[in-house]
Amino acid sequence: MNGFWENQLVQSAAYYSVVVLCIIVLSIFELVTSYKNWEQVQKGNVAVAIATGGKILGICNIFRYSIEQHDSLFQMIGWGLYGFILLLFGYFIFEFMTPRFKIDAEIKKDNRAVGFISLVISVGLSFVIGSAI
């Protein structure tokens, strides 16, 4: 069975599957926002699409680093999830650092500037988190 997990095709499929499941778990972000991401995207809210795209890109980037730096699937999952939690924590810091307005409210109103900054923060933090894991 050990040889099975060492096969490059099996490892690639396993890594891919784990990351896709984590992107599906992105629904955790819906629990911390005051709007429904996919409902807003369906309505054409570009700011939500930009912010959500940044979160997806950030998660994928964290897992890219985790795959690159860890030898086993379980280490990759553990470090990737840890990075995901740090990215989620970064979202709360972003909200805290902008006391003059509410990030969620602005993104829900389709404020694309705030959506873009949210994307940049998610992607930027993913590089820092990724290099640390």
Q: Whole domain around residue 31: which residue ranges?
A: 2-132
Q: Model-level pTM?
A: 0.82
Say what the alpha-carbon torsion angle 91, 96, 99, 105 is, to the nearest 10 degrees: 30
The number of folded domains in the chain is 1
pLDDT tens-digit profile, the chain (133 residues): 566 667 778 888 888 888 788 777 666 667 777 788 888 999 999 999 999 999 889 988 998 999 888 877 788 888 988 998 899 898 888 888 888 888 889 999 999 999 999 999 999 999 999 999 8
Q: By the 8 A CB rule, do 71 and 93 touch?
A: no
| CA dihedral for 40, 44, 45, 48, sign (positive or negative) | positive
**Residue at 46: amino acid letter:** V
Dump pLDDT digits (tens) for 46-72.
999 999 999 889 988 998 999 888 877
The structure tokens 């389709």 sit at: 110
